[in-house]
Amino acid sequence: MPDVVVVGAGPNGLAAAAVMARAGLSVEVFEAAASIGGGTRTTELMQPGHFHDVCSAVHPMALASPFFRAFELARRVEMVTPEISYGSPLDGGRAALAYRSLDRTAAELGRDGAAYRRLMAPLVRNVDGIMDFTQNQLFRIPRSPAAAGIFGLRTMEQGTGAWNARFREEYAPALLTGVAAHAISRQPSLAGAGAGLMLGALGHAQGWPIPLGGSISIAAALAEDVKAHGGAIHANAPIDRLADLPTAKATLLNVSPRGLVAMAGQSLPDGYRRALESFRYGNGSCKVDFILSGPVPWQAPELADAGTVHVGGTRRDLAHSENEVNAGRHPERPYVLVAQPSRFDAGRAPEGHHTVWTYCHVPAGSTKDMTEAITAQLERYAPGFRDLIVQTNAVTAAGLAEYNRNYIGGDFSVGTMDLRGLVQRPVVSRAPWRTPLRGVYLCSSSTPPGPGVTGMPGLHAATHALKDIFGMGVPALGMSAARGK
C-alpha cells in the first residue's frame, strides 16, 4: 500500500505528489482524465500540428512562485519571456504597454508616466516580500511587514473609488484594470486590485514567461520528478469516493470543496460539511481558440510583441464589462484576454499559420458561445482579424465545468475572488488545507493562495501532511537534491 495517495494530476496535485515523493514516501496519483495536466494541458485541439493550451497559456507565477523557485522550474522547462509583458489596446490605434522595464513603461504613458512609476516602483522593489505575503496562509505575520504594508496601501487605493485619483489620462488606468480583471470580480475591488498589482509587479520585475511546447511542459516536468522519485501516476482513474482509494497514511485531494463533500459523504463532521457546502464559486469563462492564416493584425503594431493583450478599451469600458458579468449578464463588448503563443514559439503552428488563445468572462454556468462577441472585439482593435480565421473552437462555461469537475459553473479559479473568498478558502482556519478527517488534506485552488499555476496549494498541503502524519519536514526540491530517505 502507498504511503500517500493524491487525487488530481493538475499542477497542485502534482506539486503535492512531488514533495511527498522527494521525502522518500511511496506515492500514487489518480487522474480522472485521459492525460495529466488539469489547467496546464496542451493539445492539437482542431488540426494536426496546431497546439493549443486548453486552459492557462502565459505564466507570471512560473518564475516567482516559492514552490516553483525551490523546484527550479526555470531549469527544467525552457521558456520565452516577451519584452512586453502585456498591453491594452485603445481606440484610434493607440495602446498602453507594460514593458519588463518599468522606466520604459513610464516613459510611454504620457502625463501619467510619473504617477504610474510612483505606484509600481515600490512593488517591484519589494516583489519578493509581496510574493511571500500573498502566497502563504492569511493568518500569519509576513516576513516583510514593510512589503505587506506597501502592497496593502496600494491595493486599498486601486481597489476602491479612489483608483483614478493619481491619473489624468486613459493609458495607465487601462493597463492596470486589464490586469486586475484577471480576478473575475467586480471592478474596482480589493481582490481584483491585489491580484492585478501583484501580477503587474511581476510583469516589471521578471516578465510573464511562456513555456515552449505549451503549458503541458510544466505538468510534464512535475510528473517526471514524481516518477523519478518512485511515484506512480494513473490516468483514466476517476475517484468518486474516498473508499475507492488504496489505503494510505495520507490522502491529498486536488478537488473542489463540492468534490470533497461528494467523496467523503457522511464521514465529514456536520459543521465542516456545512462550511464546504456554503463555499461560493465565482463566475465562469468562455474560451475560444483560433487558427489564423497570419498573425493578429493589431492596429497598434507594438501589441504584436506583447505576450498577453487585455482587450476591452478604457478602464471605464473594462469595468463596465466585468460588472455586467457580476450582475449576471453577458456583456455586449466583453473583456477578452488574448495570447498568440505561436508568435513566440514557432512549434505551436505550421509555417504561415498561428494559434490564438482567448477567453472572456461570463455568468456562472453560461451555455452561451461568445465566439462572435470575442471576434468582434478583436476586429475592433485588429481590423482584418476576421478575414484571417481558418477555424475556431469554443468551450462555454458549462463546457469548462464538464471538462474539469473542479470548475464549478465554469469557474477555473475554483472559488469566488472577493474578501470573503480570500478568508473562507474553503474554511476560516490557520491551516485550511487540513480537513477534520485524519490524514486527509485539500490541495486545490480552493485553498490558499488560490488560483494560478503556482503549485503552492500543493506545497502547503504536503507540508502539513509531512508534519502531522510522518513527523517530517519539507525535503529539498531542487534538481540536484538527492532523493529523501
Cα 438 versus chain centre, distance: 30
The stretch 408-412 carries a mean pLDDT of: 96
Evaluate if pTM is beyond 0.75.
yes
What integer pLDDT is reported at residue 482 of this predicted model?
A: 52
pLDDT of 371 strictly over 60: yes
pLDDT of 466 strictly over 60: yes
The stretch 320-347 carries a mean pLDDT of: 97
Q: For 266-294, how does the pLDDT look when each residue is reduced to its tens digit (9 = 90+)?
A: 999 999 999 999 999 999 999 999 999 99
Q: For 27-86, how does the pLDDT look when each residue is reduced to its tens digit (9 = 90+)?
A: 999 999 999 999 999 999 999 999 999 999 999 999 899 999 999 999 999 999 999 999
Q: For 196-226, how does the pLDDT look when each residue is reduced to its tens digit (9 = 90+)?
A: 999 999 999 999 999 999 999 999 999 999 9
What integer pLDDT is reported at residue 63 of this predicted model?
A: 87
Rounded to whole angstroms, how far apart are CA atoms 346 and 308?
17
Query: How would you class 165 by CB atoms within 10 Å of its CB: exposed for 0-12, middle for 13-18, buried for 19 or more?
Result: exposed
Q: Which residues have C-beta within 8 Å of that of residue 156, sequence separation ≥ 6? A: 162, 190
Q: For 72-88, how does the pLDDT look when each residue is reduced to its tens digit (9 = 90+)?
A: 999 999 999 999 999 99
Helix or strand (DSSP H, E) at 224: helix 216-228
Rounded to whole angstroms, how far apart are CA atoms 43 and 144?
41
Which amino acid is residue 249, in one-letter code? K
CATH fold label, 4-57+214-279+413-470? FAD/NAD(P)-binding domain (3.50.50)
Confidence of residue 484 (pLDDT cuts 50, 70, 90): very low
Give the pairing of strands 306-311 and 210-211: unpaired
pLDDT of 485 strictly over 80: no
- In degrees and rounded to multiples of 5, residue 87 shows phi and psi of -150, 165
Q: For 78-129, how does the pLDDT look when each residue is reduced to its tens digit (9 = 90+)?
A: 999 999 999 999 999 999 999 999 999 999 999 999 999 999 999 999 999 9
Terminal Cα-to-Cα distance of the chain (whole angstroms): 18
Cell of 457: 496549494
The stretch 337-342 carries a mean pLDDT of: 98
pLDDT of 483 strictly over 70: no
Q: For 324-336, how does the pLDDT look when each residue is reduced to its tens digit (9 = 90+)?
A: 999 999 999 999 9
The stretch 245-256 carries a mean pLDDT of: 98
pLDDT of 423 strictly over 90: no
Rounded to whole angstroms, how far apart are CA atoms 7 and 245?
9
Where in the chain are all domains bearing CATH 3.50.50.60?
4-57+214-279+413-470
pLDDT of 137 strictly over 80: no
Q: Which residues have C-beta within 8 Å of that of residue 186, sequence separation ≥ 6? A: 192, 322, 323, 326, 418
Mean pLDDT of the chain, nearest integer: 96
